[in-house]
Amino acid sequence: MSVSSLPETGATTFSNPVIPGFHPDPSICRVGEDYYLACSSFEYFPGVPVFHSRDLVHWSQIGNALDRPGQLRLPLDSRSSGGIYAPTLRHHDGRFWLIVTNVSSDGNMLFTATDPAGPWSDPVRLPGVPGIDPDLAWDEDGTCWCTVAGVGQVRLDPRTGETLGPVRKVWSGSPGAKAPEAPHLYRIGDYWYLLIAEGGTERGHGVSIARSRTPDGPFEPCPANPVLTHRGIDHPVQNTGHADLVQAHDGSWWMVLLGVRPGGGTPGWHVLGRETFLVPVDWVDGWPVVGELSLRAPAPPWPLQPVPVTPVRDDFDLSVLAPHWVSLRHRPPADCTTKERPGWLTLRARGASLDDTDVTFLGRRQQHLSCRARVLVDVGEGRGGLAVRLDERHHYDIEAASEEVRVLARIGSVSTVVASRPVPPGPLVLRVETAAVDTLTDALTGPDTITLGIEEPDGTFAGLAALDGRYLSTEVAGGFTGRVLGMFASSGAVHFDWFDYEPTDR
């Protein structure tokens, strides 16, 4: 069924986040009645997931902009939370433009496409563009302005990557606020508006804006800055920032931004990473007034249309993997294939464990606070299994060998086998369940429990270990990513017949 022919839902509210799970730094553009959005991807390959929507609420992933090694170089020794930062997605002169930073190798780069689902071009490198979080905007005479975190600005020839003149500082954000970043420049009415994030991407995050009669300033700050922040207030969504504006097809204005949903006691732990939220925007006296950010919010004034969602089960019957699957830093076809054993995914080990930066891994983002993941695995003479990963130093795994399964936990510098059990040889169903905490017993209550185990022949779940989820959170591990659930091989060739993901949120 095509997107345009999907039935209307008749819904009067929608759920935030609109793209749940580890989908940070959203950048959005509109072409007619179609909306497109891109997010950061950090150390995962392929990079920069691209989404499509017809109503701003329901989004489906249509591809990844950086899906070839020539577009995305992530050295095997590059750190987690490195890689691809903060894309800006724009449509101009009949083409889509994507500018992004690879902090692990190539710096700032620019890509183009006629179809946002791909293919995207090889990179145009931008050696004269400093820093991170680059933005693109064009003025009436066709001049392209590139604005970066800091907040600096330079004129750019986007087709060659040549900078035209020096980089100039145009605004430093609010006095005393740290980390002015994520700039986006827009021409709206009589003014040029410069939207930024500031305060750091943690609990102090916020969105501020300034305006000028010309794209290069001087910029006048909004007297109501920050126009959006949840710092210091009791709200289920925190760390709000890194926003982008879009005018809808009916003339209304909206903002996409990142936020987190902390759980548990103090200080609160977010485990899904930074997610994409949607809020309405009004304009008063030439300044944007941002509406309330709610987990359940009034729907836009047009009919909502459901779109195809990420499938909960993959039987690996196709020769090409679905776009929601990601690997670590690269994906050599010989080590990750559905062609070797028809109807099965084969992973061939490189690194010996999830501690290694070059482990063979294929996963999908955890998108629900409570969920269940299951795989049918045939390890043969190899070793591998199912993991909940935040980074190399923070992951829980259930690993199968020929006649044994074991649960491993890596928390910082500590790595241990938590439990083990003998199993008969042959295919085996491994299972991981995350259960968010409903009731706080005290301030030390963690955000969720992660249970790892196997399924008995009659389908019952035999949990081998129930582990505290706080240790797979950003507040413990640091960094910018969220959990990814996936399959791995740590020795030999390991085969997976299917992977099933089921949300169990109430």
C-alpha dihedral over 501, 502, 503, 504, to 10 degrees?
-140
Distance CA 19, CA 425 (A): 40
- Using DSSP, state whether 46 is helix, strand or coil: coil
Longest dimension (CA), the chain: 73
- Using DSSP, state whether 384 is helix, strand or coil: strand
Residue in 55, 133, 135, 181 annotated catalytic: 181
Contact 19, 51 (CB under 8 A): yes
Distance CA 312, CA 386 (A): 16
Question: DSSP assignment, residue 175?
Answer: T
Distance CA 80, CA 44 (A): 9
Closest CA to 281 of 269, 270, 297, 268: 297
Helix (H) or strand (E) holding 54: none
Closest CA to 448 of 430, 434, 431: 434
Contact 221, 243 (CB under 8 A): no
| Residues in a beta bridge with 433 | 372, 451
Would residue 433 show up in a list of annotated catalytic residues for this protein?
no
Question: DSSP assignment, residue 472?
Answer: G
Would residue 202 show up in a list of annotated catalytic residues for this protein?
no
| CB proximity list for 467: less than 8 A, separation 6 or greater | 396, 407, 409, 418, 449, 450, 451, 452
Residue in 25, 198, 244, 475 annotated catalytic: 25
- Please state whether beta strands 428-436 and 44-45 pair in parallel, antiparallel, or not at all (unpaired): unpaired
Contact 386, 347 (CB under 8 A): no
Tell me phi and psi for residue 505, to 5 degrees. Answer: -60, 145
Structure-token pair, residue 357 = 């930066």
Distance CA 383, CA 405 (A): 9
Beta strands in 380-471 (DSSP E): 383-391, 394-400, 404-411, 414-422, 428-436, 448-455, 461-468
Closest CA to 103 of 195, 216, 160, 181: 181
Closest CA to 99 of 35, 145, 150: 145
| CB proximity list for 158: less than 8 A, separation 6 or greater | 97, 110, 124, 136, 144
Q: Which residues have a catalytic role annotated?
A: 25, 181
